[in-house]
A and B are shown apart, each in its own frame.
Chain A
């Protein structure tokens, strides 16, 4: 047993301990500072009635107007939707859907008349929507090669393993590879306005400005070759199995051709939910005071190329205006109103409880 002696504690709290050999050991005790002894001043939210109840009421008072604002904004957005899957015999696209086969060289066309009850002001956005299409399936989401899509020549010739089995055909690489690219939406939608004296006026649709700027200008780049001709750059690659045209013939506009085609980019941005919509075209507002889409009869002409019946999916076309909160979605408004009201109601209930029970408990049992 070691003989050791203790000396009185110094003012600053250190103990010096003498060992048997006569030397002094280092003290192991931490310094007596607030930080090391965990005595830092702390603020702890004490849930007294004076703090909690006003907080509940304030939250309620803040949330309800926000909710009302969101709900009113969402209601003011005009939206029109047509389901053109064609699974019903009365639907115009029934024949196209029924007679679909992968070997069709001529695309089937169906015409759907519709009517807009209100004029649509400002820019009108045209979307295509799919249902029961799981773009968020993990194996599907990984089936792409971002290097190849960024214009990397090596990846163009040798796509990554993630793209299997859509990476090559007959030992030639597929550009763009992967299941996402392979399943690209290829219906063509056209709008016509039937003006009152009977003529069918085509509505001009803008096909650029539909993808994110970062996608179009940074993430997706065409491969650069010695020749500026895109066809030559993609020499030696094959088009994806399900496509009708190769990637360098997606559009006549060279700024929208190849990997930087905006329809392609929009499709490659995989959706999170099985029911989704993707921006297809924009109908620009006219310079004069006339509404972009006046009230009246319209026709939608569909080149029906995309098969959805095999997985019981549905296809639809949506025309929508936009506001500061995005498209028409009343959920956020309703949720804010609900939470605000619940908070307010809870505040009242807790006030009653506090009045009846709280004071009794707090004062009686604490005595000196």
Chain B
């Protein structure tokens, strides 16, 4: 497993993280700098002023950061999109006429959002900066997956076994290595005839279901499907769907 191989907190990964940060910082400053150098708005007025430049840089940063999410659940998506919306809401509020009238010295950025965010070249700069920040990350990850995949990557690449979603009833809360001693046993299995094997179905997709998979067979206990050695019960028949006894996919790692 990746954690056991010290893949996440080693000096090497720290260095990679630092390199990524350096690159992102340089991109996030110098692209807006070069785009705003001696530039004006589309009606000739100022856009390369201190306040507009600051707004442009921070908006680039937000977009670059929001795109780099590793997984998207419903909750995550709502919060990320919500924070982007909140950012714009707060920005426009803080830079509005009303807030300036209440306290002029505290809200000097009045009008900046309105006057700079309606410029097409500002949005093109933001788009370019975010894509440029994300591109090396994707390239690096893809190259790593292709050239030296880790166990996690291989697991994600294999097709998930076909699942039938049904409620599973669990009555034992004990976790124990002596799995079968606490389970109900195989009485149900034998009498139902599900031990007859079926050919495997393969299915490929770019999705992985990160949620829990369940089957209709209820082995009475969370540890009932656990095979102590992790290997499938029958090695002789290839390409056969594992029975619902094996609730975990087995993956062997070739020695590096």
Contact = CB atoms under 8 A, between A and B. Distances in A.
Instruction: Point out which of A212, A275, A322 has the most chain B C-beta atoms below 10 A from its C-beta.
Output: A212
- Kindly list the 9 A-B residue pairs having the minimum CB-CB distance in the complex, ordered from nearest: A214-B111, A272-B53, A44-B71, A125-B44, A358-B146, A42-B73, A327-B40, A146-B104, A40-B73
Main secondary structure of the interface of A (DSSP, over half): mixed
A324 B120 contact: yes
Contacts of B146: 49, 350, 353-354, 357-358, 361
Interface in B24-74: 31, 33-54, 70-74
A344 B70 CA distance: 24
B1 interface: no
Contact of B154 (A278, A326, A353, A362): A362
A46 B208 contact: yes
A46 B206 contact: yes
Given A270-B50, A273-B33, A282-B44, A350 B124 contact: no
B43 A331 contact: no
B212 interface: yes
A43 interface: yes
Contacts of A125: 40, 44
A366 B251 contact: yes
A43 B71 contact: yes
5 contacts: A40-B74, A47-B142, A270-B50, A329-B38, A368-B239
Chain B interface size, as a band, is 35 or more
Interface string B151-181: 0001011100000000001111100000000
A332 interface: yes
Nearest to A152: B104
B135 interface: yes
A52 to B, nearest CB: 5
Interface residues of A, number: 87
Given A273-B48, A279-B45, A323-B42, A331 B37 contact: yes
A327 B43 CA distance: 9
B49 A335 contact: no
Contacts of A157: none
Contacts of A272: 36, 48-50, 52-54
A41 B211 contact: yes
A229 interface: no
Instruction: Point out which of A35, A325, A364 has the most chain B C-beta atoms below 10 A from its C-beta.
Output: A325
A357 B147 CA distance: 6
B124 A47 contact: no
Contacts of B72: 42-45
Interface of A: 6, 8-9, 11, 13, 15, 34-35, 39-52, 55, 59, 63, 66, 70, 123, 125, 127, 129, 135-136, 141, 145-147, 150, 152, 160, 210-215, 218-219, 266, 269-273, 275-279, 282, 320, 322-327, 329, 331-332, 335-336, 339, 343, 346, 350, 353-354, 357-358, 361-362, 364-368
Contacts of B128: 63, 332, 335-336, 339
Contacts of B76: 42
A339 B36 contact: no
B37 to A, nearest CB: 6
